[in-house]
Amino acid sequence: METRKCKHKNIHTERTTLTLSSSPGPVILYDVPVQVCDDCGEKFISPKSAHEIIEKADLAANEEF
Ligand SMILES: [Zn+2]
């Protein structure tokens, strides 16, 4: 069996839904940009996206009902 480490050369950007577990409850973030490897399907979050995610999570966490 050939074991070849994927170098993630072919990646594209996808939008996905992320669920973050936080208190008081899970935060669901829609339309989060992630990078997906075409070869192995592994997902990455770029630093820019991570920043966006944190901001969205913060906003969601601060919403009071
Ligand atoms: Zn890959």
Q: What percent of the chain has pLDDT over 90?
A: 32
pTM of the model: 0.62
Mean pLDDT across the chain: 84
State how far the Cα of 2 lies from the Cα of 9, in Å rounded to an integer: 19
Residue 40, pLDDT above cutoff 60: yes
How far, in Å, is the centroid of ligand 1 from the Cα of 22? 29
How far, in Å, is the centroid of ligand 1 from the Cα of 44? 10
How far, in Å, is the centroid of ligand 1 from the Cα of 2? 15
- Between 37 and 63, name the one with better pLDDT: 37
**What separation in angstroms does the CA of 22 have from each of 26, 32, 47, 54?**
5, 17, 20, 12
Q: What is the CA radius of gyration of the chain?
A: 15
Dihedral pair phi/psi, residue 31, rounded to 5°:
65, 45
Looking at residue 55, its pLDDT comes to 85
- pLDDT mean over 36-64: 84
Please count the CA atoms within 13 angstroms of the CA of 23 that sit on its side-chain side. 0
Residue 57, pLDDT above cutoff 60: yes
